[in-house]
Each structure stands twice: as C-alpha cells, then as structure tokens.
A and B are shown apart, each in its own frame.
Chain A
Amino acid sequence: MPGRKRTWEAISFELVMTASALVALVLIVAPSLVIMIVSFTSGFSLKFPPPGYSLRWYVELANAWQLHFAARNSLVVAFWSTALSILLGVAAALAIARSRTLSARLLDSLFMSPLVLPALAFGLAALMLFSLVGLPVSPLTLVIGHTVVCVPYVVRNTVAALAQLEPTLLESSAVLGASQVYTFRRIVLPLIRPGVIAGAFIAFMSSFDNVPVSLFLRDAATDMLPIRMWQDLEGKLDVTIAALSSVLIIATVALVTVMERVSGLSRRLTS
C-alpha cells in the first residue's frame, strides 16, 4: 500500500491477525481430517494416531444394515421436505420479496422464526399436536416437521435472489405484452434459479442432519441417520461411525463443490 509505513506496530497487527485466522481455520478443518484418518484404523479404538491402517471398518459399514435403513429414511424425508419447502417457500418469497407492506414484513419474520427458536421445543410441540389429533408418528409427520424448520432457507435465498432482479426487466416484459405468468416462466424463474437451488440445497442438508425435530417425531420404524449415529455413540464409541462420518464428509465436500459451480453458493452466503 503506497504511503503506508511498515512500522513494527503495523507488522505486529498483521502478524497477530493472520496467526489467529490461521489457528481458527486449522481449528475448523482439523476435526474432519482427524476423523477421516481414524476411520482407517486397524484397531478397535479411536486412538490417535492409529496403531495401523486397514479398511475393516468400511467393510463393517457396508454390512451395517441398521445404518443403511436409517440413511434411506433420512434421504427420503429430506427429499420430500425439500420439495415441499421449494413449493411453499418460493411462492411465499415471490409475494414478500418486493413488498414493503406491514403484513409482508410480519409474514417474513414468521417464516424466519424457526431459525432462531429452539427446534427441540418445536419438536415437542409438534409431537403434542399430532398425538392430540391422533396422527401417529410416521414419515409424513417427519416431513411436516422438517419442512417447518427447512423452509426458511428456501425463502431467504429466494428473497435475496429476487431483490437482485432488475425491475426494468419485468417492466419491459410487461410493456411488450407478456403476461405475468409468461414473464415469471421466461424471465424471473431463470434468473432466480441459482438462488432457489442454493436455498434448496441448504434445506436438504439441514433436513438430512436434523436431530431436534426428528427426536420427537420418529419411532423405531422411521429411524433417522443422525439419531441412529448419536445413539450408537452414546452407547459405545464405535469406529464404524467414524467410517460413516468420513463417507458423509466426502459426500458433503463433493456436493458443496458441485453447488458452488451450479449456484455460486459462497457468494450467496456472504452478500
């Protein structure tokens, strides 16, 4: 930087900040690396560094039918919750994005509130309601509960994408005689699609990972993966879970990389 003196004072500041940032970044990455290394252990414990390396726990994982069953349930629930979130969330976002009215602001706050309210309290409340009306826990109750806590991500990202839309584009389309439906299909939707995809992706991941709502709304027949893993870990520190964790980490990295290409995920979350 021209004109700025490289004094000891300036250097100390840069050093302290850079060092803290690097420590923080290592702190963020280290746990994932550690768990991937431990998953290749040849031993029976989570000792680090492992006494030797093998693929035995991945073989265990391939035979762990309880985990497969829970994973399949989680994927199905996450899929339907995301689909429902897109349907309800995008429609709501279209109405509230450009509106300055009080009712739009209030609805916006309502739709965002599951993000800050303790989800466990909502999970309990939903269980109470379902048992009051006599609806037994099932994949359906799980999808309903997950949609409530996942739809905010779709609404928020779609609203953000709509806010960046040039109003003149829509005006010109209207002036040229296009109907609102046509304009939506040919102009609005293509332009907001990356935002909707980013929101849907986050909604999917948070449904797949959800514990507080699933805790109350599932039973043995609808076992969910994060809860199965949690209960396995409460009982014993099983290395199979480490192998499964590595698989999930790799899958997440792969998905995030794809999403970064498709929807510019990182830009979306920092603007």
Chain B
Amino acid sequence: MGAAPKSRDATSYGIGLTAPLALFFAVFFVAPLLQLFWLSLHNDTAGLQWGIGQYLHFLADPFSLGVLGSTLLLGVEVTAVCLLLGFPIAWLYHRVGPRLQTIIILIVLLPLLTSVVVRTFAWIVILGRQGIINATLQSLGLIDAPLKLLYTQFGVVIALAQVQMPLMVLPLITALSRIDSNLDDASCSLGAGSWRTFRRIVLPLSLPGIIAGCTLTYAAAITAFITQSLIGGGQMLFMPMYLYQQASTLQNWPFAAAISIIFLLAVLAVVSIFTALGRMSRAYGGA
C-alpha cells in the first residue's frame, strides 16, 4: 500500500514535522547519553582525569562480571518461561470465539497496564513464608517448614515471567494470525499428526513473532529494577540495582556511567542478534 508518488503533496507530510520531537530527543535523550559516555571515560570521581580505568575496573573485577553474567542469564530464563507459557495462550486465542478472544486479550493486557510495584508486591504475598504456596503445601502435609521461595532465583524468574508475559503473548498472537490455516489443514490431511504439524509448520512460521516477543521480554526482564530488587532481596544483585547503588548510594558517577554503558551495549547486542535472527526468519517464512 505504498503512497503514489504523484499525490505526495496530498498524502504525505513534510519531514519538518519531526523537527520538534527530533530536537527534544537531541537535547534530552542523545545529549545525556553522550555525556554519560564522556563521564565513563574518566578515572576519577571528579571527572578530571581521562582514561578507560572504569571499564578496566569492571572487566577485571570478578564481582562485577558476575553481576553482568547473572543478569544476562536471568533474562534467558525469564524469556524461556514466557515463551513456554505464552505460546499456548496465543494458540488458544486462535481456537476460541470472538468473545473469549477479547477476554483473553484483556487478561493478557491487564498486567501490562497495572503498576509494576503492585504486580511485584502480589508475588511477595504469594511466595512469602506465610504465603499461599507455603500455606497450601503445609496444610497438605507435604512440607514441615516453609520453603524459601522469596529471595531466590526461582522466585525472581517466576515473578518476572508473569510481569513480562504480555510482551511475549501480543506479538505471538499477531504472528499466529498471519499463518494461513489451510497450511495446518493440508499438513494434517497429508498425514502429519498435530504435534508434527505444530513443530514443522506452525512453529517455523511463527518465528518472526517468537523473535519479536523474545526481544521485548528479554530487554524488559534484565532491566526490571523493581521486581529484581523486591523479589531478589539484598543477596541477589543484578545490573540495574548495581548501577543504582554506585550512582546513588556511593556517588561514584564515573563507575556508574561505565556500568550503564556496558549494560546498554549488552542490551543492544542482544537486541541486534534478535533483529538479525528476525530478518533471517522473515526471509525463511517468505520463501
């Protein structure tokens, strides 16, 4: 549906309309990030002595590298859980009538629009020592003492998966709706079973949606400051809290800036890998 060139003047607006927002972004988004980068290239907290000392400090410090590693790993785990649970929702969405479809969408949408603090708080109530899971298991006589669920990796992953689920499900629903249902029927009538049809037809054709969902979920999960700090507690440190501690509590701005830049680059690297995969999968789907 490309706009016809002959009617340019009527159907398209001049690029000049982007000027206000572009200017706003230049001053309040690009400039701060450049300044952040500039400050990260200083060895002292006053920002007088040039050098890459902050980066060397981070990269030579096993503790800092551990924080980075566990943050990236956390993202992988959350994304995997979201994909495993999100795909069936998207699949079910295309099996039910329009009324149920709206209900499913609203259920999926709700967490996206509810405050993150509220959603995370709910998980504290569920996972706590007196929470539902422990109360149920104890009343069933399955455990004697309450399990430690809060302040564990398991707790953080489950809570983050719920918090970020909409980001996975929405692109999946879009991707599945673009698959020609005749392909599904054809595969079945040619003798492939449901599982095989799913694995060989539905899954590959929904790859663009899977990749879009994974990108959004991953980026959101590793930067989810509130959920990480409230469910993870003091013992588990991830990049956002590390950054915040260095900047706010310790007032070590150059090091905090270096952490930000490293974190930014890590996120960008993951997003570009996913984008490249997405381009490949679209080429595959279109072929």
Contacts and interface: CB of A to CB of B under 8 A. Distances in A.
B106 to A, nearest CB: 6
Given A115-B219, A125-B257, 9 more contacts: A18-B92, A22-B92, A27-B85, A46-B131, A48-B126, A121-B243, A125-B32, A252-B110, A256-B106
A contact patch SS: helix
Interface string B69-107: 000000000000000111011011001000000101111
Task: Bin the interface of chain A by size.
Answer: 35 or more
B1 A167 contact: yes
A173 interface: yes
Mostly, the B contact residues are helix
A111 B25 contact: yes
Interface string B4-30: 100101111111111011101100111
B256 A104 contact: no
Contacts of B223: 118-120, 212
B250 interface: no
Contact of B35 (A28, A87, A101, A128): A128
B193 A9 contact: yes
B32 A167 contact: no
A219 to B, nearest CB: 12
Interface residues of B, number: 103
Most chain A beta-carbon contacts within 10 A, residue among B11, B124, B222, B240: B11
Contact of A211 (B117, B130, B185): B117
A229 interface: yes
Given A89-B21, A242-B121, A266-B105, A99 B12 contact: yes
Interface string A249-262: 10011011100100
Nearest to B260: A121
Interface of B: 1-4, 7, 9-18, 20-22, 24-25, 28-33, 35-36, 39, 84-86, 88-89, 91-92, 95, 102, 104-111, 113-119, 121-126, 128, 130-132, 135, 161-162, 165, 170, 173-174, 177, 185, 188-189, 193-195, 198, 215-216, 219, 222-223, 225-226, 229-230, 239-240, 243-244, 247-248, 253, 256-257, 260-261, 263-264, 267-268, 271
Contacts of A117: 264, 267-268
Interface in A18-61: 18-25, 27-32, 34-35, 38, 45-49
Interface string A98-124: 111101100100110111111111101
A205 B86 CA distance: 23
B240 A212 contact: yes
A13 B197 CA distance: 10
A196 B21 CA distance: 16
Contacts of A34: 122, 125-126, 132
A99 B12 CA distance: 7
Contacts of B219: 115-116
B102 A266 contact: yes
A145 B131 CA distance: 37
B13 A125 contact: no
Contacts, number: 308
Nearest to B39: A128
Contacts of B12: 98-99
Contact of A234 (B123, B215, B230): B230
Nearest to B234: A234
A111 B260 contact: no
A53 B39 CA distance: 54
Scoring A31, A34, A173 by chain B CB atoms within 10 A of each residue's CB, the highest score goes to A31
Contact of A121 (B21, B36, B108, B226): B36
B272 to A, nearest CB: 10
A180 B225 CA distance: 46
Q: Considering the complex of A and B, which 5 residue pairs feature the smallest CB-CB distances, nearest first?
A: A31-B122, A174-B10, A13-B194, A125-B32, A21-B88
A5 B20 CA distance: 61
Contacts of A120: 223, 225, 240, 243-244, 260
A252 B114 contact: yes
A35 B29 contact: no
A45 B256 CA distance: 37
Given A25-B104, A248-B115, A241 B121 contact: yes
Contact of A9 (B124, B195, B267): B195
Nearest to A145: B28
Count chain B CB atoms within 10 A of each CB in A3, A48, A89 and give the residue with the most.
A48
Contacts of B128: 46, 237
